[in-house]
Every structure is written in C-alpha cells, then in structure tokens.
Structure 1
Amino acid sequence: MNLNTEAEKKNTYDAIVVGTGISGGWAAKELTEKGLKTLVLERGRMVKHPDYPTATKDPWDLKYAGKPTQEDLKQQGVQARTGYTVRQDTKHWFVNDLENPYTEVKRFDWMRGYHVGGRSIMWGRQSYRWSPMDFEANAKDGVAVDWPIRYNDLAPWYDYVESYIGVSGNKDGLPQLPDGKFLPPMELNCVELDLKGKVSDKFAGRALTIGRTAHATAPLPHSPQRGTCQFRNLCARGCPYGGYFSSVSSTLPAAEKTGNMTLRPNSIVYELIYDEKKGKATGVKVLDGETGEQVEFYAKVIFLCASTFGSTFIMLNSISNRFPNGFGNDSGELGSNIMDHHLSVGAYAQVDGFEDQYYFGRRANGFYIPRYRNVGSDKRDYLRGFGYQGGASRQGWSSLVAELSIGAELKEAVGKPGGWTIGMGGFGEILPYHDNKVTLNKEKKDKYGLPTLTFDADLKENEYKMRKDMAADAAEMLEAAGYKNVGTYDNKIGIGLGIHEMGTARMGKDPKTSVLNKFNQVHACKNVYVTDGSAMTSAACQNPSLTYMALTARAVDHAVNELKKQNL
C-alpha cells in the first residue's frame, strides 16, 4: 500500500495539460508562470526549437525533387488531400494514416501532427479577432445555442495574446474585424494595391487589407529566443529563426524557463480519471507510445488541449457510472456540432501592366478581404458570411526554360519574369448542426489498440448557397478591376480541409444544451477545462487560432483564482 501511495505522490502535480499545440502551449505557459507545478503531456515525439530537420535545406537537397513517393501517399493518403502537406520537406510533421486510422461516413479531411508543438509548427498563422457580431450571431439568428460570452469578455485577452505572440497587421477600423495590438504590417505588392483601390472605389462596404499574421516583423523583447521573419516562406518546415509564433519557439520555452514544467512526450492520454465521491476528475490515464506501459498521473486541475477531436476522443472514451455516455456529456452534445470553414471556391485572373515592377522576398502572407455579406444592411438568402484570402504574383522564370530559344535568346528570356496573375479564395462559415458529429468506434483500433473515431458531417444548404456568392463575388471584383481571363472555381470538398475544426464540446449557458460553461469548465466537473477548438459555439469566418489562445489564457486565469479560493 505504501508503494502505491509513494508512486501516486511522485505522479502528482498541481496541473496537467494534455497537448502541446496552440492551446496547450498557452495553458503550459500561463499555469507555470502563475506558480503551478505542471505536467504537460504530448502523445507524439519530442521536438525542440530550433531543431527542424528540413528547415534550411536547399531544393536540391530534397529527394525526388521534393515530391511525395507512392509509398508516402500510401501511408499518408488522407494527409495528402490538401495537396501541400505530404512533400519531402514537410511529411514528417503529419501522421501516418495507416497507423492512425479513422472512419468517414462522408468525406472528412482530418489533418494531424503528433509531436511536441502539434500543428502550431505547420499552421497558416493568420490571426484575426472575432467581432461582437460573431459572438452574438447564434442568438440573433436563432441557431444552435448562444455563446456564454461576448467580445468584451475576450477583448483584454486578445490584447494580451497578440502582444505576446507578435501579430503583424494594419489597423483598418472595421467593426466586423476589430483592430488589435499589431507589429508593423507586411506590404501589399503593386497589383494588390491596385485591386485594393478599385475594390474600395467600386464596392461600398468591401475592404482589402494585408493579412494579419503571427510573424515577428519587429523584435519581441520578451521572447529573445525568437528572431524576426526572414521572408523565406518556408514556414511549414518549422522556422529556426522563430520568425513566426509556435508553441515550440515561444510558449513552451517560457514555461520551461519557470522551472515548473515537466514535459513528457510519447504520452497518449486516453482517459480521464473521475472520482465519484469527490465529484471531480483526479487525473489521467496514459499509454506510453514507446514502451506500451500504462501510467496514471494526478492533479488538482486538468486542461484538455489535445485539439478538437483529440480532446473529444478522450472525453468520449472516459466512461464512468456518473458519465455513461462520455465525460461531461449530460447534454448529449459531446461530439456533435462539428464546424470548420468551407473553402476551395473563388476566382483568378491575369493582370496586364506592372511589368516594370517586382517584389522583394517571399512574403508568407497574402491579402485579406473581411466579411461584408449579411453585415449592416446587406441581406442574403443564407446566414452568416465569408472572407477572402488571396495574392498577386508574377509567374516564374522557369516557364520560359522550355522555349526553343538558345544562346543569347535563351539568356534574355530567362532573365525576365512572366506576367502577373492574381487569385482569391473564400473562407465561409459553417453553421453548427447537431447531426454533424463524431462518435467513438470501438471496432476499429489504431496501432496502440485504442478505439478510433467515425465522422459523419457534411456541408448543407446554407453553405452551398453561400458558395455561389463566394465564386461570383470574387470574379465580380477581379472583372471590375479590369483584369482579364477571369475564371472561377468551386471544388467539391468535405469538411476538414479548412483545418479549423471546431465545436464538439461547445460552450454554453445551459448544461442541458452544452458541455462547457463561460470559462471553458466542463459544466458537470469544474476542475476540467477544455480550451481548444472543441469549445467553440459557432465558427465565424475568420481563422480561429487567436481566439483559442485568448480563451486559454482567460481560462487559466480563472482556474488559478478558483484554486486559490479552494473551489476546485
């Protein structure tokens, strides 16, 4: 008995954080800086900044001209659906689909990175605040449930997070896209500036701005280990300069610096331990990914930040007398209301003129057109709206190498870049539908013998109506600008390809219709907080990661105060 007590004592911490991505890194930083001895569990391998294996390789250093092999595509068939994740320089950041299977009732694209840092190493880095309109939308439209918070609840936390991670952007004064604490903006190129002026002149209520992105365009004194953006646009490899925000380059080093963090990779959390007598969670069950050993760890407070479906898997798999249908699932909403952003729809064109102008560096960012549909007096036959991300560039020199010219003629041809092209793609909001869901599949096991997930989710009428405008409006703006050979596209997609999955353990005011309260606590178990995308009540059309970070910092502040009051 004494041995067990000693082992339990050794495995006991003030706090446990599950996951090391965008949210987990923030939870680790905030908990440790507030003095809590914190165990941070990551299911994948160790990654330390700046050790990113392909970060500084030249194109000729990569096998097969960087392209995936047939074996790569066999092992990472789902991960390859994006068209850009499975390459020789990035494939190591994405999971082996054969070892980590799931089931799709309808096509569902689940992109995953199992390693310290998670997808914060590969994320798109677009960092937008949600607006007052976004937090009020469900209530106003009578959709799903109301958010239990409003913009003003999160505004100071947006300030806090932006100041720390470094977000470059322009202050635009738009109510639907609140301004933040910005580093100097990146620059629009000459064609993008031309489009900006023409959109402003010809379309009331539409604006074009530079993307707001988590890149340090100026030094960050509080994070001396991070350099500034080098404009290499090789971000998906991992940035050895720390030019963009990731938990590996920023929040985890901050947590480590406190001396309060114990980081344990290869630790697959598969269940929460619930104590019926105490009415609270006491810890987590872990499967060691290398040895297969099963270990239990204990803490006063637990933060689930394992990504939307990672956290939901753990909760669905945590069955007890109190929670026969999954941890905290009194409402029956756990696993339901899957959201993402629907994309792969937009327009493109060729641009005459500007042949005497070029741009410097490889800007890892594009322009952004914030939502303007169903804003103010604009009313459509669908709910919510969309934004666009896009860019203009000159075609490369390589297109001319195939010319039959030789000698001086060839030399002259490859010295000139091609013409300008421009394109923009929409990111549209998906509504929270109860029947867009994920469930536990106990028949199909992963390589560790654990159950897997089954997805049953699809776009519905509201999204399809929106997509017509997403293609038509993009073409309308490019045509109004006088560009030529304008074309539209609308590719059939499932959910997931936006890689902004949200909603499966939503926040709400009523425990009967939601899983979490306004501080991201599980309604039925106050010492468990869930602060990744699963907490989202609606999806807006802006990229959501900045909101996850703000929610996480706010939730930790609440948890620490509650611990001090001995309420947890």
Structure 2
Amino acid sequence: MNQEVEFDAIVVGTGISGGWAAKELTENGLKTLVLERGRMVKHIQDYPTMNDDPWDYPLKGELSSEDQKKYHKQLRVNWAPKEDVKHFFVNDLEHPYVETKRFDWIRGYQVGGRSLTWGRQSYRWSDIDFDANKKEGIGVDWPVRYKDIAPWYDTVEEYIGVSGQNLGLKQLPDGKFLPPMDLNCVEQELQKSISENFEDGRVMTIGRTAHITDPDATFEGRGACQNRDRCWRGCPFGGYFSSNSSTLPAADRTGNMTLRPHSIVYEVIYDDITKKAIGVKVIDAETNEKLEFRAKVIFLCASAMASVGILLQSKSDRFPNGLGNDSDALGRGIMDHHYKLGATAKVEGYLDRYYKGRRANGFYIPRFVNLDEKTKRDGYLRGFGYQGTASRQDWSASVAELGYGTGLKDAILRPGQWQIGVTGFGEFLPYDDNRVTLSPTEKDKWGLPQLAFDVEFKENEYRMREDIKKEIVAMFKAAGFKDIQPYDEETGPGLGIHEMGGARMGHSAKTSIVNKYNQVHLVPNVYVTDGAFMSSSACVNPSLTYMAFTARAANHAVKEFKAGKFS
C-alpha cells in the first residue's frame, strides 16, 4: 500500500464495533482504511469446519495435547476452543500477557474478530443502568441516558436482525424484534412457576438473540437461522449476525473501504501543532515492516483491552502517559461479568416430549433485584440476570448395561431424562485499582510491551455471587425440579468474555478519557467505540450497546468531518 495516500478515516479492528464503524463511515462517503491485526477471513469461503460432524474429528473434537499447550489460556472458558473452532482463537504461546492477578483474556485475531464466535445475546441498557454510577457515587457519571441511545438501538436491531419478545420491563427496554424462538416444554414449566411463585416482578422469556427467524425477511444476502447450532464455526447461511456476513460486505459495496489484514496498530500519531491525531503506526504481522498510515479521523475498535493498549503506547511530549490521559484514568476501571456460577437440576416427566432442531439460543431471566426499594438487597449494589436451557440427556445414559441386540437398539432410540442448567451474569463495579498497564519488562514477538492485568473481584462481587446461586436454587425448588446442584467454579475476571472499561466515558477530561460521543476529550478526532469506553457494565451482554454507540459515534464523526472540524 502507498503510505503517502491520506484516508478520510482509519478504523482499527473488524469485530462487532469495527464492522459497524466501517459500514457507517463508508456509507456516508468517507474513504476508509480498515486495519486488522489478524488474518483475512472471508464469509463462507473461510469457514473450513462449517459442515463438519462429530465423527470427522479423531479426538471427538477435543484438542490434542500439543494444541492444549498452545491454547492453555483460551481453554479456561471450557466450551472453546475445540478442534472445530480453534482457528478462530489466538495461540497463547504467540500472544502472551502478564497476569499480576488472574485475568482470562479470550481472544480471536482475524477479520471479523469475535463477531464470529460471540454468544449473540442482544439486550438494551435502561436508565437504571445509565443512572447507577451517579445515584450511588460509584466511578464517574455517564454523560448519556437511554433516550440518547434508543434511536441507535433501533437502527442496529433492525439491521442485524434480533429475535425476541417485548416484555414492557423498565430494567430491560423493548426493542425492534423478529419473531421469538420457542421455549420447550420444561422451560415453559419453569416460566409458569416463576410467574406463580414469586412476587418481586421476575419473569422468564426466550433470549433476545441476533439470529434471523423470519425466512421472508430481507437482510442483504443473509438467510434465516437453520437451527444447526454450529454458529461458532462461521454460519454459511448468515443466519446470525457477524461482521463478515453483514457490516464489512456493506462497507465493501460502497467502494470506499480498503481492508488490510496482518496490520498490528500500536500507536496513534499525535501532532503537537494541530493538536489532532494524524494517523497510526503499524507493524506488518507477516513481514515485521513498520508502516504509517494517515487519516483525519481515527476509530479505535480493536477490542477493549487492545484499544487501551494502543492508547497507552501512544506517548508524546504532550501525552507522556498515553493519548488523552491527563486524568490518569486510562487503563483503570476494568470490568467483566460474573460467569461460571449457577445451578443444574433434573426434571421428572415429559418423557413423551422432545424438540425440533438445535436451537442456538436459551431462555433469559432479567434482573429483578435492586431495582427499587421493594427489590433492594442488603450487602451489595446492582444486579444480575440468568441465561440457561433445558434439554434431554444424552442417549448413552440409557444404554448402561444393554450392550447388544434389540435392547441396545431400543435404548439408542430413546432419549434420556430432562435436565436444566442456568448460568448467572452479574454486574461488576468499576474500581479504579482494577487496571491494565504496559509491562515494563515483558515484550511480545514484535517487540511491543505486553499488557499486564491487575484486576479482581471484590466484596460486592462475592456477595452478589452468593445471591445468584441462592435465587436460582429457589426457582428450581419452586418448580419441583430434582437433584438441584448449585455451582460456583473458581474463576477470574475476563471469563465472561465481556471485558470492558479502561477508556471510560464521562463529562470531563479530568476524570475520563472520552466524551458523550466517544471522542477522546483532548484529541477529538480519535473515537473509542469498543468496550473500552464503558463506565459501568450493567448485567446484560454488552455487544448490542457497543454497536449502538459505534453507529452513533460514526455518524457524529461524519458530520464533524464534513463541517471541516478535523481539517
């Protein structure tokens, strides 16, 4: 590429946020360079395992001992990486980081990022979430409220296709939904029991998920979900939303996007005279060549921790501690969601009932604590929700001693008992001493400083975890489920794969890094729109919120650009 060419905009990263930034900027006429540190992944063409079956893998999908060493930190999440999806996760030996305290950093370096492997659960924030910091004196106040973001939630939901059910809840705003997926018979029983046995407003619904459920709907080349539940391999039908199937092709169709993979951005270049950013510094991941690209607008969408790392490395005479970091807030307030706790149970009956397909979704129980005085809990702030599913057990449980003949055939054809499992997702408070920094000694293979994590759960989180377990056990007991087994596995922050914070949004450069439009306060032609800008975490999956803020920020940048503000 010709480094002398100046682009209108540069987008760093191609995941959930980067795809949306690229789409909005290019559709509004800006010549945009999109930089991705990982390899190229083309929709359909580069999904090598999309149609594989379990018997296609010699170890039934499990990793070899050699691969387990390569993915030793990625494996902390349990469900990934497996043989069918390891190519969408980083090799931990090649991409190390420092854990002052345990932090589970689950990553995917390729075009599309983790939009290829995300859980697709899509929930709006409410004013309860945006108000919480100010109301409780925690962290910094959000400079926006729900009314500011609601139109952009509409835009994103209608474009990506979110199926779900409107409930009229103040803590979980309704959206623009495609037809909801169905709950199965056991899930319907739990739903009925919750509504009959609890008077604190708790409800259960099908998950709100970024899957197309209307076969007659038009989504620019994407088809409806086929209920294969092989989403993490890359969906050849485009049934679920990813950058690869949706926003990046949209940006490409404009003719305004230049996409460059294998491009490790490590610094935003600041000009002391204009007091603006003028471009980025890049290392070519294949050749180790150092490059510079210039543009009038920079969007950091590299994923929360990576974007924070870029800002920390972007030092100059004006910003010796990182770009825009007069407040010393950069790298602080790192958050995640609770994960790896909940309960399982067995369900008697319904042995004449089954379900069709492999629904790529579960049920959802929205937050029902600390919403008002009636639902206030002593001992901790904020709240939690639950995600789960009911299914019939593996056929092998019925086989037991039946090893041959008619008995074996009958057992194989007969599903086992129903079971149900639920995981809690709770809010993590934004503590200033939960932070990420640049290691002064450890470097990666390109000579860049590794990120060092010093993040932990504190008293509020541990007290909430106890309540998460207690409440799901109470709901299972009320429904009459048997052999209820609560669990709380040893874990560290990061394993929810919802890491966020580090370049928080706020009213002032004295306490925060970006303003209400995601602009770096002190360098307004730099926007940060991945999870780094989050000032609190709420208890719902964050990707829909990242996309809404990104679309809003990109359209703001276009207006500023066309008004000559960045010239």
CA contact (8 A) 1:346 1:488 kept: yes
The aligned residue for residue 168 of structure 1 is 163
Q: Which amino acid letter does the alignment assign opposite residue 292 of structure 1?
A: N
The aligned residue for residue 22 of structure 1 is 16
2 CA distance for matches of 1:478 and 1:423? 10
The aligned residue for residue 418 of structure 1 is 416
SS at match of 1:341: coil
1 CA distance for matches of 2:94 and 2:547? 30
Q: Deviations over 1:531-559 (max 9, x none)?
A: 00000010000000000000000001111
Q: Deviations over 1:122-146 (max 9, x none)?
A: 0000000011110001011110110
**1:48 and 2:42 equivalent?**
yes
The aligned residue for residue 35 of structure 1 is 29
1:306-317 aligned at under 5 Å gives the runs 306-317=302-313
The Cα shift of 1:404 comes to 3.1
SS at match of 1:64: coil
CA contact (8 A) 2:77 2:495 kept: yes
Q: Deviations over 1:237-291 (max 9, x none)?
A: 1111111000000000000000000000000001111100000000000101111
Q: Which amino acid letter does the alignment assign opposite residue 32 of structure 2?
A: T
TM-score scaled by length of structure 2 = 0.98
The aligned residue for residue 287 of structure 1 is 283
1:414-453 aligned at under 5 Å gives the runs 414-453=412-451
The aligned residue for residue 301 of structure 2 is 305
**1:137 and 2:135 equivalent?**
no
The Cα shift of 1:86 comes to 2.0
2 CA distance for matches of 1:509 and 1:140? 15
- Extract structure 1 runs of 4+ deviating beyond 3 A: 6-9, 219-222
Q: Which amino acid letter does the alignment assign opposite residue 40 of structure 1?
A: V
2 CA distance for matches of 1:39 and 1:220? 34
In structure 1, stretches of 5+ residues that fail to align are 1-5
The Cα shift of 1:220 comes to 7.4
Q: Deviations over 1:282-317 (max 9, x none)?
A: 000010111111111000100000000110110001
2 CA distance for matches of 1:401 and 1:318? 61
2 CA distance for matches of 1:199 and 1:476? 10
The Cα shift of 1:478 comes to 0.3
1 CA distance for matches of 2:504 and 2:526? 14
1 CA distance for matches of 2:220 and 2:520? 36
The Cα shift of 1:401 comes to 3.5
Give the counterpart of 1:196 among 191, 198, 208: 191
Alpha carbons of 1:221 and 1:421: their partners in 2 closer, same or farther (altered >3 Å)?
closer
SS at match of 2:245: helix
CA contact (8 A) 2:3 2:291 kept: no
**1:378 and 2:375 equivalent?**
yes
1 CA distance for matches of 2:451 and 2:293? 25
Q: Deviations over 1:196-250 (max 9, x none)?
A: 0010011121100000000011147553321110101111111111110000000
Q: Which amino acid letter does the alignment assign opposite residue 72 of structure 2?
A: G
1 CA distance for matches of 2:83 and 2:62? 6
1:209-358 aligned at under 5 Å gives the runs 209-219=205-215, 223-358=219-354
The Cα shift of 1:411 comes to 1.4
The Cα shift of 1:449 comes to 1.7
SS at match of 1:140: helix
The Cα shift of 1:453 comes to 0.4
CA contact (8 A) 2:275 2:523 kept: yes
CA contact (8 A) 1:220 1:226 kept: no
RMSD: 1.1
CA contact (8 A) 1:63 1:88 kept: no
The aligned residue for residue 151 of structure 1 is 146
Give the counterpart of 1:545 among 535, 543, 546: 543
1 CA distance for matches of 2:370 and 2:348? 33
Name the stretch that deviates more: 401-410 or 124-133.
401-410
Q: Which amino acid letter does the alignment assign opposite residue 108 of structure 2?
A: G
1:457-536 aligned at under 5 Å gives the runs 457-536=455-534
The aligned residue for residue 177 of structure 1 is 172
Give the counterpart of 2:57 among 59, 62, 67: 62
Q: Which amino acid letter does the alignment assign opposite residue 212 of structure 1?
A: R
Q: Which amino acid letter does the alignment assign opposite residue 111 of structure 2?
A: V
1 CA distance for matches of 2:408 and 2:278? 71
1 CA distance for matches of 2:287 and 2:400? 54
The Cα shift of 1:7 comes to 5.3
Q: Which amino acid letter does the alignment assign opposite residue 542 of structure 1?
A: V
**1:391 and 2:363 equivalent?**
no
2 CA distance for matches of 1:307 and 1:96? 17
The Cα shift of 1:406 comes to 2.4
**1:103 and 2:101 equivalent?**
no
TM-score scaled by length of structure 1 = 0.98
In structure 2, stretches of 5+ residues that fail to align are none
1 CA distance for matches of 2:421 and 2:2? 59
2 CA distance for matches of 1:262 and 1:279? 26
1 CA distance for matches of 2:244 and 2:116? 8
The aligned residue for residue 3 of structure 1 is none
CA contact (8 A) 1:66 1:88 kept: yes
2 CA distance for matches of 1:408 and 1:192? 33
CA contact (8 A) 1:73 1:86 kept: no
2 CA distance for matches of 1:50 and 1:453? 33
1 CA distance for matches of 2:202 and 2:368? 6
2 CA distance for matches of 1:487 and 1:61? 34
CA contact (8 A) 1:72 1:86 kept: no
The Cα shift of 1:565 comes to 1.6
